[in-house]
Chain A
């Protein structure tokens, strides 16, 4: 059974840092593009970042470039999101998500974690 379990969320002050983790199981983690997607309270979905299978390519939404870093450890079946210089507008539930197809393709995200809440407030 495919499972994605996020952790690391919490309350942080503006300008602070937080590191999210996503533990994956039930599939060959190293074969899939992985992503972080967030949802501010009562708002819609926003893609945050992608990392390709070998970690060599990473992409970010403009609003987090230079502040967030996505990474993965295929030996530990884990995905990470290092969030620095946090702002109030980064407050959201952060989901890790798996690309529906393995390999050099994207068809949507078929498995999602339960989400972890990040609150940026003084």
Chain B
């Protein structure tokens, strides 16, 4: 099983500032990585796939980078609606196995 870790667990940011979230895989997942946003009481929302491609309808302030074992999600100029939980997910072994990171909570500073 590929273990995913995320840091920090909580990130406090002021509206208008940028946020950088990290995700690390226990072994290389190439670019088979997705990022999701989840707000309380809601289902997750796909933001990024193949590590750096925005999903349909996702604003340009969300960007992803990385490959192998180290990945980053950057949210530039945080809007009020961006305060949420963010999960990374690897799918290098699809369709046999998928694993999520534990999440990073982005809250208001």
Interfacial residues, chain A to chain B (CB-CB below 8 A): 33, 35, 37, 44-47, 50, 52, 57, 59, 61-62, 95, 100, 106-110, 112-115
Asked if residues A108 and B100 are in contact (CB atoms below 8 Å), the reply is: no
Q: Is the CB of A108 within 8 A of B95?
A: no
A50 with B95: in contact, given A108-B49, A114-B43 (CB under 8 Å)? yes
Alpha-carbon separation in the docked complex, A83 to B94 (Å): 22
Q: If A44-B87, A47-B100, A100-B55 touch, does A106 touch B94 (CB 8 Å cutoff)?
A: yes
Closest Cβ of chain A to B92, distance in Å, is 10
**B residues at A contact (CB < 8 Å):** 1, 34, 36, 38, 43-46, 49-50, 53, 55-56, 87, 89, 91, 94-103
The answer, among A44, A52, A108, for a CB contact under 8 Å with B46, is A108
Q: Give 9 A-B contacts (CB < 8 Å), ordered by A residue.
A: A44-B100, A50-B94, A52-B95, A95-B44, A100-B46, A100-B49, A106-B94, A112-B43, A113-B43
> In the complex, what's the smallest C-beta–C-beta distance from B52 to chain A, in angstroms?
12
B89 → chain A closest CB, angstroms? 7
**Do B95 and A59 touch (CB < 8 A)?**
yes
Cross-chain contact B55 with A110 (CB below 8 angstroms):
yes
Residue B100 contacts which of A35, A45, A114 (CB distance < 8 angstroms)?
A: A45
Cβ-closest 6 pairs across A and B:
A112-B43, A108-B34, A47-B98, A107-B49, A106-B94, A108-B49
Which residues of B lie under 8 Å from residue A47 when comparing CB positions?
A: 89, 97-100
Residues of chain B contacted by A110 (CB below 8 angstroms) = 46, 55-56
Across-interface contacts of B89 in A (CB, < 8 A): 45, 47, 108
CA A69 to CA B44, docked complex, whole Å: 23
By a CB distance below 8 angstroms, the chain A residues around B100 are 44-47
Q: Give complex CA distance A45, B34 in Å.
A: 13
CA distance A107 to B56 in the complex (A): 12
